[in-house]
Amino acid sequence: MKVLILGSGGREHALAWAVKRSQRVTEVVCAPGNGGIAQVARCVPVDLKDVAAMVRLAEVEQPSLTIVGPELPLSLGVVDAFRERGYRIFGPTRDAARLESSKAFAKQFMKRHQIPTANYAVCTSPKEVEESIKHFHAPIVVKADGLAAGKGVIICPTRHFAVETAQGLFNGELLGSVEHQVVIEEFLEGEELSFLCLTDGLHVAPLVPAQDHKRIGEGDTGPNTGGMGVYSTSQMLEPTMTEWILHHIAEPTVRGMAEEGMPFTGVLYCGLMMTARGPEVLEYNARFGDPETQAILVRLESDLVDALEACIDGRLAETEMQWSSSASACVVTSSSGYPGSYKTGLPISGLSNAAKVPEVEIFHSGTTRVANQLVTSGGRVLGATASGDSLEEALTRAYEALSQIHFEGMYYRHDIGHRALKQERR
Ligand code: AMP
Ligand code: GLY
């Protein structure tokens, strides 16, 4: 099999690494890929905003299977376009991907199907926001309706600030693009959990759970990022809680989408808040998480390609994934300045020493090769992903690997998984 992966981050590097381990796969192509992915796949250029360009790439490459990494091509309908032309592709259609690409749609969908989520109002004008906001206590969460690369959620300490924020979303001052709908939401407290499932549109198979660290600063401070580190253990979710989430959140979501005529196949990523009243959905994503995928896939013992193909063919009920009972962690390093502006083109050294640390994979997010030198090319640069018998062992290995790597201004959080570590030691 020849497998095409669309995307260019750490998630796609981990996907390429896992796909390559499948006995059925003879070639992995990644578009556009990055400097690290080029070590496991043939990288070819493509514009992920251009569905026609991705179709042309499929016509040239003739992949047996295509896997879509990021949300943008899904929201533009790459899956619809590939399917129409008979190319096998893993991911939801444009309509199904609205669970991620429209927060207003997602909230209204959850209400229709009694899926637990924060109380909310969908507003189409600043005036409506002023009216609705009277029913909310501060802090209030204000969300842009559309895709905003992690910048569309603003936690507002006062009602006044929430109204101003919503105005900034409507008039385009905040994100640079004008929003036609804004979601006002109750602020939820608790631990966050990334609960990802594969689905064939009918059946649901959970992946192992993970916890992301979204803030740039240690102790969960500072602005939100794409994700600075993640861990995954068997202990982080009791089997009864997994069952509860499946029965009350993941399965009703997949059933509801099918009933509404837009069956969802692919990865359903439920971003949950584990609140005092139980798990509630913060957001859906229609794709694998980054960096969750890195920590999740190093724990997968069965064949990823078999599982993804079962989703496409509606055979997920017959497929069983095998997971290692070990722990894993991925610690991301970023460029100085991220998530604000940062320099690129900085040489990266020490990768071969890092690779010598046992049970470690270095998945690249923003790297490229210039004249045989690997250099930085993004905000998140790479993630050291490690396994261990315990979370402590996995984290020790990830940090040991990172200590070997160097580039100017290299930053990473030193407290990934620390809350869970304290529990592990108890
Ligand atoms: P989202 O893109 O909707 O997942 O939001 C990004 C991040 O904002 C989440 O991972 C949470 O940390 C935070 N967030 C979103 N919605 C809420 C909420 N209702 N209450 C508290 N935090 C939230
Ligand atoms: N790690 C968060 C995301 O993939 O959206």
- The CATH number that applies at residue 389 is 3.90.600.10
For residue 301, the one-letter residue type is E
Tell me which residues have their CB closer than 6 angstroms to ligand 1: 118, 141, 153, 185-188, 192, 214, 224, 271, 282-283
Ligand nearest to the CA of 271: 1
158 and 195 co-located in one domain: no
Over residues 217-276, the pLDDT tens digits come to 999 999 889 999 999 999 999 999 999 999 999 999 999 999 999 999 999 999 999 999
Q: What percent of the chain has pLDDT over 90?
A: 91
**In angstroms, what is the span from residue 116 Cα to ligand 1's centroid?**
14
- Residue among 142, 153, 280 whose CB has most ligand 1 atoms within 8 A, to mutate: 153
Give the CA count within 13 Å in the CB-facing half-sphere of 108. Answer: 12
**Tokens 């569309």 appear where?**
152
Over residues 87-113, the pLDDT tens digits come to 999 999 999 999 999 999 999 999 999
365 and 256 co-located in one domain: no
Structure-token pair, residue 64 = 């047996």
285 and 345 co-located in one domain: no
For residue 365, the one-letter residue type is S
| Domain end position, chosen among 318, 349, 371 | 318
Predicted confidence at residue 258, as pLDDT, reads 98
Q: Write the residue with the smallest CA distance to atom 4 of ligand 1.
A: 283
Number of continuous H segments (helices) and E segments (strands) in the chain: 15, 23
195 and 312 co-located in one domain: yes
Predicted confidence at residue 148, as pLDDT, reads 81
Average pLDDT for 201-206 = 98
**In angstroms, what is the span from residue 139 Cα to ligand 1's centroid?**
12
155 and 38 co-located in one domain: no
Is residue 196 situated within a structural domain?
yes
Is residue 168 situated within a structural domain?
yes
Predicted confidence at residue 424, as pLDDT, reads 72
**CATH number of the domain within which 170 lies:** 3.30.1490.20
**CATH number of the domain within which 221 lies:** 3.30.470.20
- 176, pLDDT greater than 90: no
| Domain end position, chosen among 132, 151, 186 | 186
Query: Residue 146 — pLDDT band, cuts 50, 70, 90?
Result: confident
Is residue 102 situated within a structural domain?
no
CA geometry: angle at 144 spanning 143 and 146, to 5°? 135
Instruction: Identify which of 335, 30, 385 has the alpha carbon closest to the alpha carbon of residue 231.
Output: 385
Look up the domain containing 85 and give its range: 2-91
Average pLDDT for 200-225 = 95
Query: Residue 209 — pLDDT band, cuts 50, 70, 90?
Result: very high
Ligand nearest to the CA of 185: 1
146 and 261 co-located in one domain: no
272 and 351 co-located in one domain: no
Predicted confidence at residue 175, as pLDDT, reads 82
Q: Write the residue with the smallest CA distance to atom 19 of ligand 1.
A: 187
Is residue 6 situated within a structural domain?
yes
Query: Residue 291 — pLDDT band, cuts 50, 70, 90?
Result: very high
Average pLDDT for 405-412 = 98
297 and 357 co-located in one domain: no
Instruction: Identify which of 401, 173, 204 has the alpha carbon closest to the alpha carbon of residue 319.
Output: 204
**In angstroms, what is the span from residue 153 Cα to ligand 1's centroid?**
7
- Residue among 12, 153, 194 whose CB has most ligand 2 atoms within 8 A, to mutate: 194
Q: Write the residue with the smallest CA distance to atom 4 of ligand 2.
A: 289
**In angstroms, what is the span from residue 189 Cα to ligand 1's centroid?**
10
Distance from C-alpha of 169 to C-alpha of 156, rounded to nearest angstrom: 13
Predicted confidence at residue 149, as pLDDT, reads 75
341 and 359 co-located in one domain: yes
Ligand nearest to the CA of 103: 1
Over residues 112-138, the pLDDT tens digits come to 999 999 999 999 998 999 999 999 999
Is residue 100 situated within a structural domain?
no
- 145, pLDDT greater than 80: yes
Over residues 389-405, the pLDDT tens digits come to 999 999 999 999 999 99
43 and 83 co-located in one domain: yes
Is residue 350 situated within a structural domain?
yes
Between these two residues, 223 and 65, which has the higher pLDDT value? Answer: 65
Q: How many domains does the chain have?
A: 4
Q: What's this model's pTM, rounded to 2 decimal places?
A: 0.96
Tell me which residues have their CB closer than 6 angstroms to ligand 2: 212, 227, 285, 289-290, 292
Distance from C-alpha of 53 to C-alpha of 34, rounded to nearest angstrom: 18
Dihedral Cα 277, 278, 282, 287, nearest 10 deg: -170
| Domain end position, chosen among 186, 204, 230 | 186
Instruction: Identify which of 22, 29, 38 has the alpha carbon closest to the alpha carbon of residue 6.
Output: 29
Q: Write the residue with the smallest CA distance to atom 3 of ligand 2.
A: 289
Is residue 108 situated within a structural domain?
no
Predicted confidence at residue 348, as pLDDT, reads 98
Predicted confidence at residue 177, as pLDDT, reads 84
* Mean of per-residue pLDDT scores for the chain: 95
Q: What percent of the chain has pLDDT over 70?
A: 100
Instruction: Identify which of 75, 71, 78 has the alpha carbon closest to the alpha carbon of residue 56.
Output: 78
Is residue 173 situated within a structural domain?
yes
228 and 307 co-located in one domain: yes
- Residue among 11, 231, 284, 292 whose CB has most ligand 2 atoms within 8 A, to mutate: 292
Predicted confidence at residue 317, as pLDDT, reads 96
- Residue 237 sits at φ, ψ, to 5 deg, of -140, 120
Query: Residue 335 — pLDDT band, cuts 50, 70, 90?
Result: very high
**In angstroms, what is the span from residue 231 Cα to ligand 1's centroid?**
19
Predicted confidence at residue 419, as pLDDT, reads 86
217 and 291 co-located in one domain: yes
Distance from C-alpha of 15 to C-alpha of 67, rounded to nearest angstrom: 9
Predicted confidence at residue 173, as pLDDT, reads 86
